[in-house]
């Protein structure tokens, strides 16, 4: 009789641990699913490539919106970066930067970077790099790196 009681007690203990473990897992998965529903996914650029004028314009507009504020001083006529003076007229606003960036996207050959979502472009006449990234909402960036072509060449 003592063995049967001990066995029944052990069975109840195992059953309780199983139920608690299962409840904890159910709660954890429910929490994970709830968080996935309320945490937004990373926004995408909206265009996959810059192969058409319309896609290049959309990407250039987003890139310029991101890049103009922090990099506008680099796009002033005569501003020297990496030993090269900016030869074009001063780019005064994001719309003008978008036009400039679109010209680079459509007029130079891009080089795909590791990961498959980014493409780099180099505009030798102005020492400007444009990085198109279709996996982020701002579609990438554009600026005149202080290391010039060396910076561009080091992007992989």
The mean per-residue pLDDT over the stretch 45-71 comes to: 96
pTM score over 0.75? no
Kindly write down the DSSP assignment for every residue of 10-78, as one continuous string.
HHHHHHHHHHHHHHHHHHHHHHHHHHHHHSPPPP--S-S---SHHHHHHHHHHHHHHHHHHHGGGGSTT
Per-residue model confidence as pLDDT tens digits over 102-136: 999 999 999 999 888 999 999 999 999 999 999 99
For residue 40, pLDDT over 50 is answered with: no
Looking at residue 13, its pLDDT comes to 62
Average confidence (pLDDT) over 5-31: 55
**3-state DSSP call for residue 130?**
strand
What is the pLDDT averaged over residues 5-18? 58
Q: What is the pLDDT of residue 78?
A: 97
Q: What is the pLDDT of residue 94?
A: 97
Q: Kindly tell me the number of DSSP H helices and DSSP E strands found in the chain.
A: 4, 6
Cβ-contact 24, 36 below 8 angstroms? no
First to last CA, the chain: 74
pLDDT at 29 over 60: no
């Amino acid at each position: 009789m003592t063995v049967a009681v001990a066995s029944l007690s052990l069975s109840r203990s195992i059953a309780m641990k199983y139920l608690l473990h299962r409840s904890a897992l159910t709660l954890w998965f429910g929490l994970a699913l709830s968080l996935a529903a309320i945490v937004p996914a990373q926004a995408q650029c909206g265009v996959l490539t810059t192969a058409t004028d319309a896609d290049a314009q959309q990407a250039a507009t987003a890139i310029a919106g991101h890049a103009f504020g922090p990099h506008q001083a680099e796009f002033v006529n005569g501003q020297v970066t990496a030993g090269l003076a900016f030869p074009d007229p001063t780019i005064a606003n994001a719309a003008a930067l978008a036009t400039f960036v679109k010209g680079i996207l459509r007029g130079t050959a891009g080089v795909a970077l590791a990961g498959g979502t980014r493409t780099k472009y180099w505009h030798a006449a102005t020492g400007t790099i444009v990085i198109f990234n279709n996996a982020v909402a701002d579609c990438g960036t554009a600026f005149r790196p202080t290391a010039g072509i060396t910076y561009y060449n080091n992007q992989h």
